[in-house]
Structure 1
Amino acid sequence: MPIRRQVPEANVSGNVGRRTSFEVTVNDKLIFSKLKAGAFPDNKEVVEMVKRASKGETVEKVKKKKETCVAM
């Protein structure tokens, strides 16, 4: 469930960071860190936070993790 398909107005970018890191930031707020969680985030919950941000609503940390570390 790519973010751009669900929220076309979202500005999505990627940056090279620390090896094995994967972090998701929405409006300068860190909502998920693979280094802290030990897994990738649940895509649906990430998309939901982006949708909330696009409506001006409060964005919270993503709590759900994927069962496997395979990026989709």
Structure 2
Amino acid sequence: MITKHYPDSNIEGNISPPRTGSFEVTINNKLKYSKFETNEFPNENEIISWLEKEIL
């Protein structure tokens, strides 16, 4: 989804065992979203909006 809108983006996963239930979005070393805070996943439009605000 992200690479569809931003083909030059660098997407990384955690290679060590993750914390159970964790899902975090970090953009330019800034934590933008943590599932631990909301108990739900962000939708695609939210993630794209965060990216647009950071790079534009």
Tell me which amino acid in the other structure corresponds to 1:7. Answer: Y
Higher relative contact order (CA 8 A, sep 6+): 1
Structure 2 gaps, min length 5: none
TM-score of the superposed pair, with normalisation by structure 1: 0.65
Give the alignment of 1:35-50 within 5 angstroms.
Answer: 35-50=36-51
Question: Residue 10 of structure 2: SS of its match in structure 1?
Answer: coil
Alignment: residue pair count: 54
**Higher helix residue share:** 2
Root mean square deviation of aligned Cα: 1.4
Could you tell me which runs of 5 or more consecutive residues in structure 1 were left unpaired when the two chains were aligned: 56-72
TM-score by length of 2: 0.80
